[in-house]
Structures are given as structure tokens and as C-alpha cells.
Amino acid sequence: MYELLIVDDEANSRDILASCFPWNESGFSVCAQKGNGREALEYLKEHTVHVVLTDISMPDIDGIGLAKALWEAPAPRPTIVFLSAYDNFQYAQNAIRYGVRYYVLKPTNFSELKEIFATIKKELDNKYQISSQDETDYVPDEIIDKVLAYCIKNYREGSLSDLAESLYLNSSYLSQLIKQKTAKTFSDLLTESRMKQAALLLKDPDSKIYNISNSIGYVNPNNFARAFKAYWGITPTEYRNHER
């Protein structure tokens, strides 16, 4: 499922769009509803969203301002769909200027909306190399390579949400993909990277075990020792002595 953010200052319009349209059948999930562009931008700072369906005429930051801010923000950027009660040429010009290719007039024609989002889904599937026939059954090796590289580089403080945002994917969706492709969880992969790094550090006799513990993300050395033994079958001290 791709994440959809609905932005409209009219609560009734937001609710109708969110609840009456069959988003799940189209491959989308409404992750949130916001009342204006400023609220949307605040939400987007902390959440991964693939598509923003936004009204144009809103208080504070309107749809044009929202599109401009997203256009100027670092990639990856969500796809923007404008929703407006006005067939205004100036709006259309500004939409093109900020990379907006979809413009829906109110009152919303659900058949038109369904057609537009079918097109957007195909574009997203192509972008992330996901099979449109079975999204949960096919995971490109390129994505898994990026997951493994992330764990190796960020073994100390890595998180699934941070990884998902960097790949522009939903966290729960990415978690399922990792499990299906590797038979392991993201936590398993991160722990594996930590334990391999710890084993390398333990080969240096001058490195204190409590310093190694902290350097790979364990504040409590006892927790590190338990995790190390669970992975390698022996304690850090036993591993160091064995390597001598």
C-alpha cells in the first residue's frame, strides 16, 4: 500500500474523500488528514508519504504554497494531486511550475479520481520496481542490497523508520518485504551487523569490552554480552580469548 495524505480545510470534504472512496482497492492507504499546507508540511517532516491530495484554496499555506515547498525540498518528493472548485488557468500554470501533473475539479468525480490514481500507482510501481500483480511477493534484490548496506553503515543507531524513509517506503510494508525476502526481521539484520562489528573490534586486545558495547549501540554492557552470546554462542571474553 502507498501512503496518501489528504489536505483540505473543509472537514466534511476530507472525511468524504477518506471514507467514501475505495482507496485500498486502488493500492493506497489514507495515512492522515490535514486542514492546510502548514499542517501538511509539519506532518511530512516526520512521515513518509507517497501522494498528497490537496485542495488549493486554504488558509495559512494554500495548495500552491504546499506544492512550492515540496518542490523546493530535497528528494524524494511525494506526487501531488490538486483538488479545486475553480477551473483557473493561473492555478494550472502554477501547478505545472511546481511539478504537479494532476488536477481534479470539485465536486469530485470518483471515476476520474480512480483513473488518476491507477496511473499514479503504475508510476510508483515502476519507480520502486514492484510487481503490480503481487506487490508482497516480489522484492527487488536492489532494495535488499540497500537494506543490508544500511545495516552495515548504521548498525549503532539504525531504525526501520529511518530506513523506510530513505527508501521512500512505508515502514510496515518494508518490514514485510524484508521478512519475505531474507526470512529475517529488520532487527535481526541490524543485530547481525552489530555482532559482526563487535567480533572485529574484539580482535584488538586494547579495546575494552564496555567501550565496544557502547560503540555498537549497547549502553548496558550486560545487554551486549547477552546479545553477543545469543548470536555467537560464547561470551565476548570467551570469543576474545579464542581469537588469541
- 81-117 burial by CB neighbour count: b if 16+ within 10 A, else e? bbbbeeeeeebeebbeebebebbeeeebeeeebeebb
The angle that helices 186-202 and 171-182 make with each other, rounded to 10 degrees, is: 70
pLDDT for the residue numbered 37: 95
pTM of the model: 0.55
Q: Which helix (DSSP H) or strand (DSSP E) does residue 33 occupy?
A: strand 28-34
Backbone angles phi, psi at 68, to 5 degrees: -65, -45
The per-residue pLDDT for range 63-112, each reduced to its tens digit, is 999 999 999 988 778 999 998 776 655 666 667 788 887 888 877 778 88
CA 244/CA 89 separation, integer angstroms: 76
Q: Which helix (DSSP H) or strand (DSSP E) does residue 81 occupy?
A: strand 79-84
Residue pair 92/64 in contact (Cβ under 8 Å)? The answer is no
The per-residue pLDDT for range 157-193, each reduced to its tens digit, is 999 989 988 877 777 778 878 887 888 999 999 999 9
Residue with cell 580482535: 203
* Average pLDDT for the chain: 86
Domains of the chain plus CATH, in order, are: 2-127 (3.40.50.2300), 133-244 (1.10.10.60)
